[in-house]
Structure 1
Amino acid sequence: MTVHTSLRRSLSRKASLMLASLIMLTGTAQAQLGERMVDVVGRRLHAISMGQGESTVVFEAGFSMDLSSWRKLVPLLAPEAKLLVYSRAGHGQSDPMQQPPSLARAGADLQAVLADAGLKPPYLLVGHSYGALLIRDFAARHPEQIAGLVFVDPAHEKLDLSLRQIDAARLQAEREDLARRAPPAFRADLALINTLMDAGQLPEPRQLPDVPTAVLSSTKRYAQPQVLLHTPAGMQTWRRLHSEFAAQFSNSLHITTSNSGHFIQNDEPALLADAIRQVAKMAAEQARVKARQQALQALNSSLQAIAALPADAQAEREARTLSALQASALGEADINEIAYRLLGAQQPTLAASLLRWNVQAYPQSDNAADSLGEALLTLGQPAQAEAQFQRALELAAINKRNPRVTAGYQQHLDAARAALKR
């Protein structure tokens, strides 16, 4: 289990080094830095928020680690994103939890910290090692709040089951040794982790949201492996579990590095920062696509209602169409596409209303003018169509459009003039 490495390193730190890490972390923050002790039902949790930008990135440290786990990473991201680091109950300066630890209780604490910091969803969650299990549980319970997920050499609930197939005796010996060396403050967490590993699944298994995701895996080779996980067979298992986990997401990255050990955020902070940026970019694009789809659905629904109005309610049609277009905030191409579908559905009056909007909203668009001309021609208004086709040709020259495009506009103009002669 990954806690072997995490505990070994954390136990070797002196209190002075932990304090120095905190000072370093605080010193890198932007003007928006907020350090607080958050009250959670009589307990206090240490949290720091900082940074600026569109994305909100929330960090969950590994087993036995506090917020200083991210001290090398946050300076790289603070100029471009809002960040939250905190120490879980019983870690760093945070008070211990009076009840037995659980993923759900840790998630409730995190929700309280987020609310206190005034950080609104959606969140991009970053979890290291055991922290990966915590953000998985949080994301599964609050899928609507999640924009993306980044797993840093994440713990996997099936790891110990897989390692037992390699060397059950050695794994058991390592677990017993770890239990003996674990400080009292971390024994309850270690017992929870061992329970999860023995079960091979998380409690109350839930579907994770299908959001942009990155999984970073250490593939470092150890000349003299100190634990079973670091043997070639153990590392092969580790990589396989991570690969299988990443594959469940439709938009995911699996990044492997042989330059880092378990603490990728310390060994290669720039690599992790880039992964977070990529997930944030994918999440922004996914949000844009989702918003566009919702706007299209809403506009189509409104247009269906407008099309059902009586034929003599033209003024109401125009007013409601204008309102629906303003509310949609859709661009020229989307509105143009909807209008052509309406033309194909024998609804040229409604199509012309949409295309008039495009001409007004995009007065320098030759395509908008040409499209309105086609709708007007279909409505039997060749003189008005002719004016739009002429305008399309004028704009095409200004916009230096392809000659084939200009030829199409000329054909439309000729058709309008022919209709005028009939």
Structure 2
Amino acid sequence: MINDDGRRLAFHVTPGHSPAIVLDAGGGLDSSYWKDLVPKLAAATGSEIITYDRAGLGDSDEVPGPWKVESAVSDLETGLRELGVTRNVILVAHSQAGEVATYFTRANPRLVSGAVLVDASLPELYTDKEIARLVAANKPQVDAAKADPSTKENRQLIATAENYAPMHRAYHQAAWPDRVPATVIVSEKTPFDGSPEDARLWRDAATAFAKAGPDRTLVTAEGSSHDIPIERPGLVLNEIEKMATAHR
């Protein structure tokens, strides 16, 4: 358990050599999302593997008020520092964790050697028009969470929704550092399988991100839903292994 600004955060470590591989799951998901991939990744790379529960998820403490990506970045910075990880990190970020990875890498470009962004939320998606569409689409789920009995999961959903629009308007302006290579794995079905327009925009954002800087590779997980690590673990493992090998 790591302490950051009064928050207790759960980190899980599989010992190994550098580079350290840090796995960060998507919105509403904790470190258990990676439970099947961790032993395979450790065996394939020999690297130190780190998973953790962001605040409000798994065994980590909740934080009152709207979800703030800055707090999530601070939590990860503190956790890695306390674990003695001060160089050569490979970030693996799924879905909402792409936002944490982007801001973390911007703040720590010399700490992060590379990233594998797995159907990640990327800045290019969040035009004003798309933010409005997503806020409207998510409203019934958020309203239901407010009406239902309060649970950790519901509170986390509500916290994320509270400042969704301003946070993503700011995120739209965030740029990935050119010095940090990234592999972008995009799913065929995306998180918006029921909305062809949003699915197209999600895939277009991944393509635009990959083209926007040097040392970026786009990989399509054909036939996969948003849960690429569950449905195509071999693909994710292979791309992480390639990135880790390049920075051993």
Q: Which residue of 2 aligns with 1:109?
A: 75
Does 1:202 find its partner at 2:202?
no
SS in structure 1 of the partner of residue 18 of structure 2: coil
Which of 119, 123, 140 in structure 2 is aligned with 1:177?
Answer: 140
Q: What TM-score, normalized to structure 1? A: 0.52
Shift of 1:97: 2.0
1:335-350 paired onto structure 2 within 5 Å: none
SS in structure 1 of the partner of residue 110 of structure 2: helix
- Report if the CA contact (8 A) 1:229-1:238 is conserved: no
Between structures 1 and 2, the one with greater strand share: 2
Q: Which residue of 2 aligns with 1:216?
A: 185
Tell me: CA distance 1:40–1:152, structure 2 relative to 1, closer, same or farther (3 Å). same
Between structures 1 and 2, the one with greater helix share: 1
- CA deviation string 1:193-220 (max 9, x = no partner): 33333x2x42883552422210000013
Take 2:176 and 2:218, find their aligned partners in 1: how far apart are those partners? 20
Shift of 1:67: 0.7
Which of 1 and 2 has greater Rg? 1
1:108-147 paired onto structure 2 within 5 Å: 108-147=74-113
Q: Which residue of 2 aligns with 1:305?
A: none
- Report if the CA contact (8 A) 1:171-1:228 is conserved: no
Shift of 1:229: 5.4
Tell me: CA distance 1:99–1:54, structure 2 relative to 1, closer, same or farther (3 Å). same
Tell me: CA distance 1:89–1:251, structure 2 relative to 1, closer, same or farther (3 Å). same
- Report if the CA contact (8 A) 2:90-2:244 is conserved: yes
Tell me: CA distance 1:63–1:277, structure 2 relative to 1, closer, same or farther (3 Å). same
Take 2:164 and 2:53, find their aligned partners in 1: how far apart are those partners? 18
- CA deviation string 1:287-345 (max 9, x = no partner): xxxxxxxxxxxxxxxxxxxxxxxxxxxxxxxxxxxxxxxxxxxxxxxxxxxxxxxxxxx
- CA deviation string 1:127-166 (max 9, x = no partner): 111100101100001111110011010113443538749x
Percent identity, please.
Answer: 27
1:324-343 paired onto structure 2 within 5 Å: none
- CA deviation string 1:218-263 (max 9, x = no partner): 0139xxxxx8554333322221110110122311221101232111
SS in structure 2 of the partner of residue 177 of structure 1: helix
Q: Which residue of 2 aligns with 1:188?
A: 159
**Two-structure CA RMSD over aligned residues (Å):** 2.5
- CA deviation string 1:172-206 (max 9, x = no partner): 54221122134123311232333333x2x428835
Task: Give the letter aligned to residue 179 of structure 2.
Answer: D
Task: Give the letter aligned to residue 167 of structure 2.
Answer: L
Take 1:229 and 1:210, find their aligned partners in 2: how far apart are those partners? 33
Tell me: CA distance 1:47–1:231, structure 2 relative to 1, closer, same or farther (3 Å). same
- CA deviation string 1:331-381 (max 9, x = no partner): xxxxxxxxxxxxxxxxxxxxxxxxxxxxxxxxxxxxxxxxxxxxxxxxxxx
Q: Which residue of 1 aligns with 2:232?
A: 268
- Report if the CA contact (8 A) 1:143-1:209 is conserved: no
Q: What TM-score, normalized to structure 2? A: 0.85
Tell me: CA distance 1:207–1:270, structure 2 relative to 1, closer, same or farther (3 Å). closer
Q: Which residue of 2 aligns with 1:156?
A: 122
1:5-404 paired onto structure 2 within 5 Å: 37-79=1-43, 80-98=46-64, 100-159=66-125, 161=127, 164=130, 171=134, 173-182=136-145, 183-197=154-168, 199=169, 201-202=170-171, 205=174, 208-220=177-189, 230-284=194-248
Q: Which residue of 1 aligns with 2:151?
A: none
- Report if the CA contact (8 A) 2:17-2:48 is conserved: yes
- Report if the CA contact (8 A) 1:61-1:67 is conserved: yes
- CA deviation string 1:103-126 (max 9, x = no partner): 221111111111222223121111
SS in structure 2 of the partner of residue 143 of structure 1: coil
Tell me: CA distance 1:162–1:228, structure 2 relative to 1, closer, same or farther (3 Å). farther
Take 2:118 and 2:176, find their aligned partners in 1: how far apart are those partners? 20
Take 1:253 and 1:158, find their aligned partners in 2: how far apart are those partners? 16
Aligned length: 238
Extract unaligned runs of 5+ from structure 1.
1-36, 222-226, 285-422
- Report if the CA contact (8 A) 1:139-1:209 is conserved: no
Shift of 1:59: 1.5
- Report if the CA contact (8 A) 1:157-1:202 is conserved: yes
